[in-house]
Amino acid sequence: MSSLNSHAKDLARFWKGRILWDSPMSQFSTFKVGGPAEAILTVSNTGELQSLIQWLKKYEIDWWIVGRGSNILVPDRGLAGVIIILEGEFRSIEKLPADPHTPQKEKVFIRAGGGCLLLKLVRYCTGQSLSGLEFANGIPGSIGGAIVMNAGAWGQEIGSLVDAVVLMDSNGNIFSEEGQNLGFIYRKWSMPKNTIVLSATLRLTPGNKDEIIALCRKYQELRRKNQPIAEASAGSFFKNPPADSAGRLIDQAGLKGFSIGGAKISEKHANFIVNTGKASATDILNLMQVVQQEVYKRFGIELEPEVHILEDK
């Protein structure tokens, strides 16, 4: 695979939409760090996306889909290739008509585009008195991002609600898959890298609107109490090791408040690295390594980042 380099002019001719050239990824990251991507494109529908993926394949140019940017870290040197942002039809939400033959008559099926914000979907479900997604209130990602990393909180995960998805592979082929075949495990699905979530149908349960609102509030309150939600971060930085908690281990290692440059281990929750204002991606990556080394020295446990570190391939 290669960078855009010699093909920038071809891309400008091929792509009819807007292109941001050499634009910093910090603007698309909740960490507010990250160097420039060679080109950033927004795509509005499946046909456009398919032709773009096929074009990138033809010229062997690397690409990354970025949703809300809430779980990514882009190095300061930037990315050689194309960043794709899904908007337009990829942000839609629709209620599917009830199927009289479905064995799950008590369920309601909602389809959302891969680029739709999870929070927008939570709000939609609340408005329709549909229960199931309350746990996700406060998770700041897109539907596609949430599915790729099987986002979860309070003992629940989005994977358990996924009825089916429409996907695109790295050749631009479109196919459907049932939720149960996506191999959801803790903070991960098992589809090949560079599989794009075009849309997902979630299985929800009709409920009582007041109770749904109350549950959403409760989860948001817990988040506000335990997590530094007002600061720039990517949520939990490390995955929890089996039967333990990354936050507890980092805390026990005495690292709360420890900082490198503008990157700091949150005083509120030790598994959050926060950008205190002027952090670089390098500060965050260096802090990540110190945490991994310290936790390994003290407890013999290797912490694995939950945050996806985007790097040149």
Interface residue list for ligand EPU (CB under 6 A): 153-154, 226, 235-236, 239-240, 245-248, 251, 269-271, 306
Is residue 51 part of the annotated active site? The answer reads no
Query: To the nearest whole angstrom, how small is the minimum distance from the Cβ of residue 282 to ligand EPU?
Result: 22
Q: Could you give the CA distance from residue 295 to residue 302 in angstroms, rounded to a whole number?
A: 7
Which one, 26 or 271, has the nearer CB to ligand EPU? 271
Given the residues 26, 29, 233, 236, select the one marked as catalytic.
236
Query: To the nearest whole angstrom, how small is the minimum distance from the Cβ of residue 69 to ligand EPU?
Result: 13
Which one, 8 or 119, has the nearer CB to ligand EPU? 119
Given the residues 111, 187, 203, 223, select the one marked as catalytic.
187
Is residue 26 part of the annotated active site? The answer reads no
Query: To the nearest whole angstrom, how small is the minimum distance from the Cβ of residue 147 to ligand EPU?
Result: 14
Query: To the nearest whole angstrom, how small is the minimum distance from the Cβ of residue 194 to ligand EPU?
Result: 22
**DSSP letters for the chain:** -B-SGGGHHHHHHH--S-EEEEEEGGGG-TT----EEEEEEEE-SHHHHHHHHHHHHHTTB-EEEESS-SSEE--TT-EEEEEEEE-GGGG-EEEPPPPTT-S-TT-EEEEEETTSBHHHHHHHHHHTTEES-GGGTT---BHHHHHHTT-EETTEEGGGGEEEEEEE-TTS-EEEEEGGGS--BTTB--SPTT-EEEEEEEEEEE--HHHHHHHHHHHHHHHHHHS-TTSB--S-SBPPPTTS-HHHHHHHTT-TT-EETTEEE-SS-TT-EEE-SS--HHHHHHHHHHHHHHHHHHH-----BSSEE----
Is residue 236 part of the annotated active site? The answer reads yes
Q: Could you give the CA distance from residue 220 to residue 230 in angstroms, rounded to a whole number?
A: 12
Query: To the nearest whole angstrom, how small is the minimum distance from the Cβ of residue 72 to ligand EPU?
Result: 12
Which one, 132 or 247, has the nearer CB to ligand EPU? 247
Which one, 143 or 164, has the nearer CB to ligand EPU? 143
Which one, 96 or 222, has the nearer CB to ligand EPU? 222
Residue nearest to ligand EPU (CB): 235
What amino acid positions are annotated as catalytic residues? 187, 236, 306
